[in-house]
A = this chain, B = another copy of it.
Amino acid sequence: MRKTLLSIIFSITLLQLVAQDNSYNLMPVPKSIQRHADYCAVNKQFTIGIVGHPGNRVYQEATRALRRLDNRMGFFFKQGNLNNKDSSHNATLLIEVKRPAILNLQEDESYRLQTSARQVKITAATDLGAIRGLETLQQLLSVHQDGYYFPGVVIDDEPRFPWRGLLLDITLHWMPMDVVKRTLDAMASVKLNVFHLHLTEDQMFGIESKVYPRLTTVGAEGNFYTQDAIKEIIAYADQRGIRIVPEFDVPGHCTAMLKAYPHLASVPREYELQRYYGVFDPALDVTKPSTYTFLDSLFTEMAALFPDEYFHIGGDENTGKDWDRNPAIKAYMQQKGMTTYRELETEFISRLLPILKKNGKKMMGWDEILRPGVPHDIMIQSWRGTESLVEAAKQGYTGLLSTGYYIDLIQPTDFHYLTDPVPANTPLTKSQQQFIVGGEATMWTEHVTPETVDSRIWPRTAAIAERLWSPQSVTNVEDMYQRLEKIDLYLEGLGTTQLKNKGMLMRRLANGYNTHALEVLVDVIEPLKIYERNEGDTMYTVFSPYTKIADVATPDQKVARLFRNNVSRYCKAKDPKMVPGLKNQMELWKNNDTAFRALIRQSPVLQEAENLSANLAQIATIGLEALQYIVAKKSPPKDWKANCLQITKQAKEQGGRCELQVVTAIEELVETASLFKVFH
């Protein structure tokens, strides 16, 4: 009972973070791994030596690796900050690097990691490869009867795709520096290499311009990155081998710019920062020369700040309505023989290209920027479907996939995991496939705050990272989920908050320390998916509380997923050994409602989940009945099935912007029980 209770309370089984024996739990899985018997023990004499022609990056990352290992093993290593004096070939960990890397799309990230009884050796053409190898090493750390060790392996590794990104939107909810840094740490640990900052929006302008200071004094409300902060982010990312791609969204999604500089607008209006979320009409007047003067100065300033060769100009979701409302714009279009606003957008894109080019930048944008006549060195980020990416590649345009990687939409991790930028059945030829450089997970932040954002990004983005790094053949979903659970804990050790904030959010929501009844419910609910949560785009504003049950609930609820899997297995094979587990689980749900109602009285904010809790109890009751019939191989009474399915149908209704995730499993039990009808 004690064990059962514990595992229920923590909703997890005993798991170990440092690998034991030969189960290394690497994520992403390397390209090639050979095992041998000569493990390398780790004790307090552990040292790192660096040889070859390394740059500063590898000294910094090796220092960080040393401290991370010490934080896990607690040995008080003697080595301080590493520098070129730390070049002993006899070090426990020897890093050999041929040259410092240049962070770009073409750079070599390969490495070899070899263990022997007296040394671990990482060899790489570039320091970038070496630091990828250091992350693999962290994940390899293991425990056996004599203590810590690195198992005997030869790993040869390199990425499948060169662009493995995460977009973080910092405009729909502001994300301060600590979120950025811990996100970069976690990205590096799963070998992601592009951090895409969505910096400007209708709701705010998120980065200081010294040329146009009103962009933040008027276009923001205190929260934005200063240029010093941006430099800090770039340096932090660079050390970890991560490129920063900034996005300045034009010609739509720009209300904050228009509030600051109304002369840029298509329609004269009192511009205020948007408080709701969605797609709005305000757009730059792209027919006026002064707009290009402005963008030229702004982009020139920002191009100098961001070293990456790609510069993202957004380009998405301009409604065209404000252009329609301006007679001068309509006259301009007529004069140029343009019949749709898409043609005007095409002209806009073509006029931005030389501005970026003279600043040494390549243009990147969402699908919309792919227009007839645009040069081939742009980068298309596909958000509207793989078709547009395939179409682009056929035309010789470089692109990357974001469709299928929208991690804000609360879809299950296996859905993202099995989305491949170049699937096995791609219609593209081998040479066309080269135009698809990878993918990017996108974390839009309408419905997250710094308190909850990690729970949407992690651990699931690690599975996307594996898709983009590991061989195409690595697709075992169950294995992925098992490793993901370990990576979850590993990432927490690095600083991400998805696990620890769950407890905090529940204590606040329960208005007390005892959160048991809340946790039992939360473990089987997920927030409404895709774009359902914000009904009609009018429920939520930037001022809304994001501290409610839908914010504690996460995607990929493990208790629910395992229950669904177990029910399916049981309904197929009817293994009697599975009955007690299913029964205990459903009894827990059935009995939880009383405790949950008591919690509501103590914390009325939970009222909105009353129906979820009641429904859970009801379907658990049905599930227990179904289980009894199945075990007894007895047919249920007439109408039982219909009544049950009436109840499960009702249990699919939302409460607190969440849905129960175990209804289909209960229905499966009901259906299975009802099959005995023939023997009645």
A residues with CB within 8 A of B: 1-2, 5-6, 9-10, 12-18, 20, 67, 70-77, 79-81, 143, 145, 147-148, 176-178, 221, 226, 228-229, 275, 489, 492-493, 497, 499-501, 503-504, 507-508, 511-514, 516, 539, 541, 543-548, 601-605, 608
Let me know if B77 and A143 touch, CB within 8 A. no
Bound state CA distance, A20 and B604, in angstroms?
A: 12
A518 CB to closest chain B CB (Å) equals 13
Bound state CA distance, A513 and B14, in angstroms?
A: 6
A196 CB to closest chain B CB (Å) equals 22
Closest to A79 in B: B543
Q: 4 new A-B pairs (CB below 8 Å) besides A80-B541, A178-B178?
A: A9-B9, A14-B512, A73-B605, A143-B602
A-B contact pairs, 30 of them (CB 8 A): A1-B1, A5-B6, A14-B513, A15-B512, A16-B512, A20-B602, A70-B543, A70-B545, A71-B546, A73-B545, A76-B539, A77-B543, A79-B543, A80-B275, A80-B541, A143-B511, A143-B604, A147-B604, A148-B604, A177-B177, A178-B178, A226-B226, A226-B228, A228-B228, A489-B507, A489-B512, A492-B508, A493-B507, A499-B507, A500-B500
Chain B hits for A604, CB < 8 A: 73, 143, 147-148
Closest to A272 in B: B80
**Which one, B17, B513, B543, contacts A489 given CB within 8 A?**
B513
Closest to A507 in B: B489
A498 CB to closest chain B CB (Å) equals 11
Closest to A75 in B: B545
The 8 closest A-B pairs by CB, nearest first: A178-B178, A500-B500, A74-B605, A71-B547, A500-B504, A493-B508, A12-B513, A70-B545
Chain B hits for A143, CB < 8 A: 511, 601-604
Known: A81-B221, A501-B500. A72 touches B547 (CB 8 A): yes
Chain B hits for A511, CB < 8 A: 16-18, 143
**How many copies of this protein are present in the complex?**
2
Chain B hits for A489, CB < 8 A: 507-508, 512-513
Chain B hits for A513, CB < 8 A: 10, 12-15, 489
Chain B hits for A507, CB < 8 A: 17, 489, 492-493, 499
Let me know if B512 and A504 touch, CB within 8 A. no
Chain B hits for A67, CB < 8 A: 543, 545
Bound state CA distance, A273 and B89, in angstroms?
A: 28
Known: A16-B512, A500-B500. A601 touches B6 (CB 8 A): no
Most buried by B among A1, A143, A546: A143
Bound state CA distance, A14 and B5, in angstroms?
A: 18
Chain B hits for A605, CB < 8 A: 72-74
A442 CB to closest chain B CB (Å) equals 24
A520 CB to closest chain B CB (Å) equals 12
Chain B hits for A20, CB < 8 A: 602
Chain B hits for A541, CB < 8 A: 80
Closest to A232 in B: B226
Most buried by B among A76, A511, A546: A511
Bound state CA distance, A12 and B507, in angstroms?
A: 12
Known: A143-B604, A605-B72. A516 touches B178 (CB 8 A): no
Let me know if A14 and B71 touch, CB within 8 A. no
Chain B hits for A18, CB < 8 A: 511, 603
Most buried by B among A5, A9, A15, A604: A604
Chain B hits for A602, CB < 8 A: 16, 20, 143
Known: A499-B504, A501-B500, A511-B143. A545 touches B16 (CB 8 A): no
Bound state CA distance, A72 and B603, in angstroms?
A: 9
Closest to A488 in B: B513
**Which one, B15, B177, B503, B603, contacts A500 given CB within 8 A?**
B503
Bound state CA distance, A350 and B422, in angstroms?
A: 74
Chain B hits for A16, CB < 8 A: 511-512, 602
Let me know if A547 and B74 touch, CB within 8 A. yes
Closest to A42 in B: B604
Chain B hits for A493, CB < 8 A: 504, 507-508
Bound state CA distance, A147 and B511, in angstroms?
A: 13
Known: A5-B5, A12-B513, A17-B511. A545 touches B76 (CB 8 A): yes
Let me know if B516 and A6 touch, CB within 8 A. yes
Most buried by B among A10, A67, A145: A10
Chain B hits for A17, CB < 8 A: 507-508, 511-512
Chain B hits for A497, CB < 8 A: 500
A176 CB to closest chain B CB (Å) equals 6
**Which one, B74, B545, B603, contacts A548 given CB within 8 A?**
B74
Let me know if A76 and B544 touch, CB within 8 A. yes
Chain B hits for A2, CB < 8 A: 5
Chain B hits for A81, CB < 8 A: 221
Bound state CA distance, A512 and B493, in angstroms?
A: 11
